[in-house]
Amino acid sequence: MLKIKILVDIDSNISINFLKDLINHSNLPNAFSGECEISVSIKKSTNYDNLSFGYQLKNNNIIINEIEKPDPNTLYIRSDQEFIDIQLLELLSENDYELIFWCEESGKKSEEIFTFTSPSPYPTV
């Protein structure tokens, strides 16, 4: 089983930072589908002002997953949690991916692109 964890860290200035962490991997069948965990961390303790964020995940320039938060008719107020949102995505091994992440609050918007290649299955690495 393979698992990649990508932490999206948004600071109080709505700047986006990515941190990739390959947790573990082991032998996988040829038709393996791995998991990618995208955890959104927002370092801001004061009340949110119309906070929203989202991403597109692309594989070979094709959007394979897209999400926008908060859900419709929902408004973020505040949070004391390390992670405000966690998503698990299915990935193929040894594929190139592009994660386009955006965040907006108080009319200020940031966008960053993170590219990565999913790991090879054991024992080919």
Partner 1 sequence: MPFKSSKGKNNGKLIEISQSDRSNLGQNIGGGGGSAAPPGIALISATGGTETTVTTPTGKYYKTHTYLTAGSFTFSVSAAEPTATVNIEMVGGGGSGQAGYGDGNGPGIGGGSGAFSIVQNFPVINSPGSYTVTVGGGGGSTSFSGATFSGPTVTATAGGGGVGGQGNFSLTDPTGLITGTVSSGSANRFPPGSGSGPGPAYAGYSDSAFLYPTPLQPAGKGNGAGGGCPTCGPPPGSPGGMRIYYRVPAP
Tell the smallest beta-carbon distance from residue 61 to partner 1 (Å): 26
Pairing of strands 108-117, 96-105: antiparallel
Q: For residues 9 and 100, give the distance between their C-alpha atoms in angstroms, rounded to a whole number.
A: 14
Q: Is 12 in the site for partner 1 (CB under 8 A)?
A: no
Residue in 49, 68, 82, 96 binding partner 1, rule: CB under 8 A:
82
Per-residue binding letters, 21-40, with partner 1 (x by CB under 8 A): --xxxxxxx--x--x-x---
Structure tokens of 33?
């589908």
C-beta of 62 vs 77, nearer to partner 1: 77
Structure tokens of 115?
């590219």
Pairing of strands 108-117, 62-69: unpaired
Structure tokens of 56?
């597109």
Residues of this chain that bind partner 1 (CB under 8 A)? 1, 3, 23-29, 32, 35, 37, 70-71, 73-88, 122-123
